[in-house]
C-alpha cells in the first residue's frame, strides 16, 4: 500500500508541474507564431488545461480501467465548477464579461445533454458513443477557431494578450511544450498505476479514486491559474479555463474512454455523479448568463460558498459509498 500511495502522490505532483509547463509552452508558442490572443485563450488555454485528464483517460482505458477514466472526467468537471470556482469566487467575485465565453456556455450545456442522451439510453458507453462525442468536440473546436479569427475585440482576448506580454522566446516555449508533454505522459502512467493499486488495497472501486483523488489532482493546475487570474483582475480567463476544460472532458476525455474500452456504466454514475454534474452545469449557466443578460454574469462570494458546500456534500456522499463498499 505504501508504494502505490507514494506513486499516487508523486504522480499528482509531477502532473501539476508538467501540466503548467505544457500550457505555458503551448500558449507562448502559439503567440510567438502569430495566433490571435482570443484563439489562444479559447483553444490553447481552455482546452489545453485538460491534457492531464486526456492522458490519464487514455492510459486508464488501455489498462482496462474505464472506471478510473470516467471517474477522472466526471470528477474533474464537478471539481472545476464546485471547488475551483467556489474558491476563486471567495478570493474575488468573478465577473463574466466576455461575449465569446457566454456563447460557449450553451455549447457546454449542449455537450452535457448529448452525453446524457448517449449514456442513459442504454446505460453503456459504446465505441459509437465515444466517436459521437469526439465529433461533437471537433465541431466545437471549429466554432472556437472561427470565433477566435472573426471576433475583433473581446475581454478574454485582452486578458490573454496581457498575460502573454512577457512570453518566453520561441525556443524556450517549444522546450516547455515538448518536455511538459513528456512529463505529462510519465506522471500519468505513475498516477494511474498508483490509483488502481490503492483502490485494490482499500477495497473500493477505481471510479471512487477517479472521482476524488485523481480528479482533484488533475484540477489543481486550473485552481492555481484561476486564483492567479482573478487576483490580477483577469476574470474571464479564470472562468474560461473551467468552461473549456469541462467541454474537453465531457467530449474528448469521455469519448476516448469509450472508443478504447467500451463499457457498461456503473449504476452510481447514472444515479449520482452525472446528475450532480448536470445540476452544477445548469447552476454555472444561470450564474454566468441566464436571467442576468449578456455581459452581466457574476459569481459572487455567497454563490462561491454555496458551490463549496455542494462540493463538500458530494464528497461526503462519495466517502459514505466508499466505506460501504469497503465494509
Q: Which three cell numbers stand for residue 206?
A: 477505481
Query: What pLDDT score was predicted for residue 71?
Result: 87
- Answer yes or no: is pLDDT of 290 > 70: no
Query: What pLDDT score was predicted for residue 324?
Result: 74
Query: What pLDDT score was predicted for residue 292?
Result: 52
- CA 236/CA 256 separation, integer angstroms: 29
Give the range with max mean pLDDT: 132-136, 179-183, 231-235, 289-293.
132-136
> Which domains does the chain show, CATH number per domain?
2-326 (1.20.1420.30)
Closest CA to 43 of 213, 160, 209: 160
Q: Which residue has the higher pLDDT, 102 or 281?
A: 281
Reading phi first (left if > 0) and then psi (alpha if -120 to 50, else beta), residue 295 is in: left
Average pLDDT score over residue span 6-24: 78
Q: Which residue has the higher pLDDT, 168 or 244?
A: 244
pLDDT digits (tens, 9 = 90+) for 229-265: 777 676 777 777 788 889 889 999 999 999 998 989 9
Q: What residues have CB less than 8 Å from 102, skipping those under 6 apart?
A: 96, 288, 289, 294, 295, 297
DSSP secondary structure code for residue 20 in this structure: H
Q: Which three cell numbers stand for residue 80?
A: 472545476
Query: What pLDDT score was predicted for residue 53?
Result: 82
Q: What are phi and psi of 112, to 5 degrees?
A: -65, -40
Q: Which three cell numbers stand for residue 294?
A: 449578456
- Residue 48 burial (CB count, 10 A): 24
pLDDT digits (tens, 9 = 90+) for 39-69: 666 666 667 677 778 888 888 888 888 888 8
Among the listed ranges 64-73, 198-207, 301-310, 315-324, which one has the minimum average pLDDT value? 198-207
Query: What pLDDT score was predicted for residue 157?
Result: 58
Query: What pLDDT score was predicted for residue 250?
Result: 92
- CA 244/CA 50 separation, integer angstroms: 8
- Answer yes or no: is pLDDT of 210 > 70: yes
Among the listed ranges 66-75, 153-162, 253-262, which one has the minimum average pLDDT value? 153-162
- Answer yes or no: is pLDDT of 321 > 90: no
For a pLDDT cut of 70, what percent of the chain falls above it?
82
- CA 324/CA 326 separation, integer angstroms: 6
Q: What are phi and psi of 91, to 5 degrees?
A: -65, -45
Q: Which residue has the higher pLDDT, 103 or 111?
A: 111
pLDDT digits (tens, 9 = 90+) for 215-225: 887 777 777 77
Write the CA distances from 96 to 86, 108, 123, 175, 294, integer angstroms.
15, 16, 36, 33, 9
- DSSP E strand stretches across the chain: 94-96, 124-125, 263-264, 297-299
Q: Is 327 exposed, middle or buried (0-12, 13-18, 19+ CB in 10 A)?
A: exposed
Categorize the per-residue pLDDT at 77 as very low, low, confident or very high, splitting at 50, 70 and 90. Answer: very high
Average pLDDT score over residue span 279-306: 75
For a pLDDT cut of 90, what percent of the chain falls above it?
20
Closest CA to 62 of 154, 160, 152, 193: 193
Element of type H or E holding 43 = none
- Answer yes or no: is pLDDT of 187 > 90: no
Amino acid at each position: 500500500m505504501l508504494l502505490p500511495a507514494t506513486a499516487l502522490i508523486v504522480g499528482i505532483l509531477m502532473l501539476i508541474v508538467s501540466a503548467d509547463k505544457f500550457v505555458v509552452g503551448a500558449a507562448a508558442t502559439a503567440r510567438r507564431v502569430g495566433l490571435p490572443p482570443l484563439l489562444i485563450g479559447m483553444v490553447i488555454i481552455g482546452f489545453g488545461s485538460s491534457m492531464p485528464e486526456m492522458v490519464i483517460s487514455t492510459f486508464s482505458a488501455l489498462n482496462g480501467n474505464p472506471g478510473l477514466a470516467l471517474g477522472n472526467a466526471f470528477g474533474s468537471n464537478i471539481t472545476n465548477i464546485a471547488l475551483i470556482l467556489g474558491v476563486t469566487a471567495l478570493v474575488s467575485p468573478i465577473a463574466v464579461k466576455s461575449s465569446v465565453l457566454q456563447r460557449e456556455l450553451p455549447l457546454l450545456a449542449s455537450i452535457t445533454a448529448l452525453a446524457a442522451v448517449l449514456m442513459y439510453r442504454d446505460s453503456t458507453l459504446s465505441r459509437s458513443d465515444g466517436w459521437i462525442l469526439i465529433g461533437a468536440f471537433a465541431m466545437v473546436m471549429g466554432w472556437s477557431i472561427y470565433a477566435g479569427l472573426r471576433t475583433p475585440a473581446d475581454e478574454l482576448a485582452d486578458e490573454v494578450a496581457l498575460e502573454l506580454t512577457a512570453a518566453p522566446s520561441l525556443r524556450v516555449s517549444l522546450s516547455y511544450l515538448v518536455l511538459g508533454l513528456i512529463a505529462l505522459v510519465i506522471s500519468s502512467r505513475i498516477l494511474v498505476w498508483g490509483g488502481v493499486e490503492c483502490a485494490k488495497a482499500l477495497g473500493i472501486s477505481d471510479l471512487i479514486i477517479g472521482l476524488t483523488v485523481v480528479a482533484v489532482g488533475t484540477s489543481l493546475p486550473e485552481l492555481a491559474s484561476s486564483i492567479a487570474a482573478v487576483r490580477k483582475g483577469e476574470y474571464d480567463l479564470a472562468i474560461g479555463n473551467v468552461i473549456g476544460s469541462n467541454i474537453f472532458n465531457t467530449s474528448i476525455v469521455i469519448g476516448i474512454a469509450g472508443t478504447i474500452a467500451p463499457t457498461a456504466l456503473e449504476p452510481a454514475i447514472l444515479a449520482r455523479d452525472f446528475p450532480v454534474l448536470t445540476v452544477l452545469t445548469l447552476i454555472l449557466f444561470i450564474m454566468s448568463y441566464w436571467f442576468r443578460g449578456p455581459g452581466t454574469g457574476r459569481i459572487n462570494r455567497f454563490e462561491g460558498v454555496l458551490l463549496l458546500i455542494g462540493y463538500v456534500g458530494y464528497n461526503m456522499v462519495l466517502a459514505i459509498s466508499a466505506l460501504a463498499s469497503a465494509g
